[in-house]
C-alpha cells in the first residue's frame, strides 16, 4: 500500500478560550503502513473557569492539501480531545484514518489545523468580554483583576489579556500579564484610574475598560508586626484588647497645617527655650497612636530584645520601651543613622528603623520636633492637650488624667513593679483630639532634630532642625518627672547614645 502522507506540516490555530497563545504543542506524527496516522501532542496552558476549576478542552482537526490548495476533512479521528476532553498536560494521542478521508490521492504537503474549544463550546460565539473585579480600591495595596468571556451558549471562560492603565497612572500601576493593580494614592481625596484589558479571540481583538476609584488615604495605617504586612482603615483601634499595643502598630494620619510652637510667658512651668513662633507643616504624616511598646520593639528586633527598666514579665508587652537610645533607633553612620537632616530618612541596616524598613518595605522614622509638638497639641494651644493649663509644676489634677507622671504612680517605680507604678500600659489615659495617647508623661520620646537652645520667633515652614549639634531632642516627659516637664512645649535633650529612660513614637511620612 502506498504511503501517501510523505510530509506533514502542522499549523496551529488559536483556541476560542485563548489570548493569541497556542495550547497545543510538541506535536509528533507517526504514520503506519495501513494508512492510520497517530498524532501526539501536549496541552500547555492550564485554563480555569470562574470558580477556579480546570476547563476541559475538546479539539477540532482539519486538513489542507497545500499543493492542490484543497481542504481535506478529517472525520475519522478517535482518541484524546476528540472522544474525551483533555486538560493541561500530556502527551495525548489521537488517531486519524487517512485512507477513508483521502481515498483517491496522496500529497507531499499536507497540513493539519488544530483548534481547541472549551468542552461543549463548539460553535459558540463571543457575546461580551468584561473585566471582573471590584471598582473601589484602598489608597495603598494590591488587587487582582480578571477578564471573563461570555459565550452565546451561556458559558463563561477566563482569558489572559494584556492589561494597561490608560489614565490616572500616577495613582496606580498594573502588571500587564497578571492583572495585579497596585494602588498608591497619597492624597486625602479619592482619585480615579482607567484600567483597560485587551485580548484576541479567534483572530478578533476585544477590549474592556473600567474606572477604578482609588480611595484617599484612611485615618489609620496599621502594620502587622508578625509578618510586615500593612493596611489602611478608618476604624478606630480597639483599646479594650492588646492587639493594637503588641502585634499591630497603629499610626494616625495627621493632616498638614499651621500652629504656634512654644509657650506664652505666663504658662506655669515655662522654660526659656520655648520661644513662640508659627510653624507650617506642608505634608500629611502618620504618627503612632501609642508610644512604641516593649513587645512591638521585640517583634522587630527579635525575641528577648526589649530594653526597658519597667519590664515585669506579666505586664512588659503593653508598656513603653524606655531604655533605647537615638543610636539604637537609627544607627551611627554619618551618612545614614546619624545623618539627619543632611541625609534624610536613612538608617543603619541593623538599627530599629532599618530593621522595620526591611520587614515592611515602608520607611518609618522618628518625628521632627515640630511634627511631635503639632501632634501632641491636637489643635490646642494650652499647656496640656486636654485644653487645660496646669497651675502647678509638680502634682496637678489636669495632668492626672492625661498621662503617667511622678505624682500619679511614677514615684513607686521598680524593676518588678506592675503597671500601676512606673510606666503605665500605653493608652491608659485620655487621648487628645487627634486620638493620640500618652503624649504627656510615661516615657520621654526621641525626636529627629539636633537640639537648639533658641528656636527664634520667626515663622518657619517644615523645620528639620540644625544641620549639626551635640544633643538630640527629647519630648513629652516621663513617669519620673512632674507636670512642668510633661507639658506640650517642654523641650529636653541628651546625647544620641544615651539610653536614659527614653522611648519613641513612630512616624510615617506620606510623600516620602
Write down the pTM of the prediction. Answer: 0.62
Pairing of strands 8-12, 110-118: parallel
pLDDT exceeds 80 at position 102: no
Q: Looking at the DSSP assignment, which residues form a beta bridge with residue 214?
A: 137, 191
Q: In the chain, what are the domains?
A: 8-118 (2.60.40), 126-214 (2.60.40.60), 254-509 (3.90.1580.10)
What CA dihedral angle connects 278, 283, 288 and 292, to 10 degrees? -90
Q: Looking at the DSSP assignment, which residues form a beta bridge with residue 491?
A: 475
8 A C-beta contact, residue 449 and residue 369: yes
pLDDT tens, 414-471? 999 999 999 999 999 999 999 999 999 999 999 999 999 999 999 999 999 999 999 9
- For residue 221, the model assigns a pLDDT of 92
Report residue 74 as a C-alpha cell: 478529517
pLDDT tens, 41-75? 888 766 665 556 667 777 777 787 777 777 777 88
| Number of residues in the chain | 512
pLDDT tens, 125-138? 778 888 877 677 77
Report residue 486 as a C-alpha cell: 510633661
For the ranges 81-90, 253-262, 270-279, 381-390, the lowest mean pLDDT is seen at 81-90
Contact residues for 494 (Cβ-Cβ < 8 A; gap 6+):
471, 472, 474, 500, 502
511 to each of 217, 282, 324, 362, how far by Cα in Å?
Answer: 12, 11, 28, 11
What φ, ψ does residue 6 adopt, rounded to 5°? -70, -35
Percent of the chain residues topping a pLDDT of 90: 58
In angstroms, how far is CA 448 from the centroid of its own chain? 26
Averaged confidence pLDDT in the chain: 86
Name the 3-class secondary structure at 296. Answer: helix
For the ranges 98-102, 163-167, 413-417, 480-484, the lowest mean pLDDT is seen at 98-102
Report residue 302 as a C-alpha cell: 527579635
The number of beta carbons lying within 10 Å of the beta carbon of residue 108 is 12
pLDDT tens, 280-339? 999 989 999 999 999 999 999 999 999 999 999 999 999 999 999 999 999 999 999 999
pLDDT tens, 214-258? 877 678 999 999 999 998 888 889 999 999 999 999 999 998 999
- For residue 507, the model assigns a pLDDT of 98
The number of beta carbons lying within 10 Å of the beta carbon of residue 200 is 16
pLDDT exceeds 80 at position 485: yes
Percent of the chain residues topping a pLDDT of 70: 88
- For residue 12, the model assigns a pLDDT of 35
- For residue 451, the model assigns a pLDDT of 98
Amino acid at each position: 500500500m502506498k504511503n501517501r502522507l510523505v510530509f506533514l506540516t502542522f499549523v496551529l490555530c488559536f483556541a476560542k478560550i485563548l489570548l493569541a497563545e497556542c495550547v497545543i504543542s510538541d506535536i509528533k506524527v507517526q504514520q503506519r503502513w495501513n494508512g492510520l496516522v497517530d498524532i501526539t501532542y501536549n496541552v500547555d496552558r492550564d485554563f480555569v473557569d470562574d470558580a477556579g476549576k480546570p476547563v476541559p478542552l475538546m479539539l477540532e482537526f482539519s486538513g489542507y492539501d497545500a499543493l492542490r490548495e484543497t481542504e481535506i476533512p478529517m472525520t475519522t479521528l478517535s482518541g484524546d480531545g476528540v472522544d474525551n476532553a483533555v486538560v493541561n498536560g500530556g502527551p495525548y494521542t489521537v488517531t486519524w484514518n487517512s485512507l477513508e478521508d483521502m481515498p483517491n490521492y496522496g500529497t507531499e504537503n499536507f497540513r493539519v489545523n488544530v483548534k481547541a474549544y472549551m468542552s461543549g463550546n463548539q460553535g459558540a460565539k463571543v457575546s461580551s468580554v468584561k473585566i471582573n473585579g471590584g471598582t473601589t480600591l484602598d489608597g495603598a495595596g494590591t488587587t487582582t483583576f480578571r477578564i471573563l468571556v461570555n459565550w452565546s451558549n451561556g458559558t463563561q471562560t477566563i482569558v489572559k489579556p494584556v492589561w494597561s492603565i490608560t489614565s490616572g497612572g500616577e495613582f496606580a500601576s498594573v502588571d500587564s500579564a497578571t492583572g495585579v493593580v497596585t494602588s498608591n494614592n497619597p492624597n486625602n481625596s479619592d482619585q480615579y484610574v482607567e484600567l483597560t484589558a485587551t485580548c484576541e479571540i479567534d483572530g478578533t481583538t476585544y477590549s474592556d475598560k473600567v474606572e477604578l476609584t482609588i480611595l484617599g488615604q484612611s485615618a489609620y495605617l496599621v502594620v502587622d508586626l508578625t509578618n510586615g504586612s500593612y493596611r489602611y482603615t478608618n476604624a478606630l483601634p480597639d483599646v479594650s484588647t492588646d492587639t493594637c499595643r503588641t502585634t499591630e502598630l497603629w499610626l494616625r494620619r495627621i493632616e498638614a497645617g499651621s500652629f504656634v510652637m512654644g509657650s506664652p510667658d505666663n504658662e506655669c512651668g515655662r522654660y526659656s527655650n520655648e520661644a513662640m513662633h508659627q510653624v507650617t507643616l506642608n505634608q500629611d504624616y502618620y504618627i503612632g497612636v501609642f508610644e512604641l511598646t516593649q513587645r512591638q520593639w521585640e517583634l522587630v528586633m527579635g525575641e528577648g530584645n526589649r530594653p526597658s527598666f519597667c519590664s515585669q514579665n506579666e505586664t512588659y508587652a503593653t508598656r513603653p520601651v524606655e531604655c533605647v537610645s537615638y543610636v539604637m533607633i537609627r544607627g551611627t553612620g554619618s551618612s545614614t543613622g546619624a545623618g539627619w537632616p543632611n541625609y534624610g530618612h536613612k538608617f543603619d541596616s541593623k538599627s530599629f528603623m532599618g530593621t522595620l524598613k526591611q520587614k515592611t518595605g515602608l520607611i518609618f522614622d522618628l518625628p521632627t520636633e515640630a511634627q511631635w509638638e503639632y501632634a501632641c497639641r491636637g489643635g490646642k494651644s494650652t499647656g496640656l492637650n486636654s485644653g487645660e493649663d496646669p497651675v502647678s509644676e509638680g502634682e496637678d489634677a489636669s495632668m492626672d488624667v492625661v498621662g503617667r507622671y511622678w505624682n500619679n504612680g511614677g514615684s513607686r517605680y521598680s524593676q518588678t513593679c506592675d503597671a500601676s507604678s512606673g510606666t503605665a500600659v500605653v493608652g491608659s489615659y485620655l487621648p487628645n483630639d487627634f486620638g493620640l495617647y500618652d503624649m504627656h508623661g510615661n516615657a520621654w520620646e526621641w525626636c529627629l532634630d539636633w537640639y537648639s537652645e533658641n528656636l527664634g520667633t520667626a515663622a518657619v515652614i517644615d523645620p528639620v532642625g540644625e544641620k549639626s549639634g551635640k544633643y538630640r531632642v527629647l519630648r513629652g516627659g516621663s513617669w519620673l518627672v512632674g507636670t512642668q516637664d510633661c507639658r506640650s512645649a517642654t523641650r529636653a535633650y541628651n546625647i544620641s547614645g544615651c539610653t536614659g529612660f527614653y522611648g519613641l513614637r513612630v512616624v510615617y511620612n506620606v510623600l516620602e
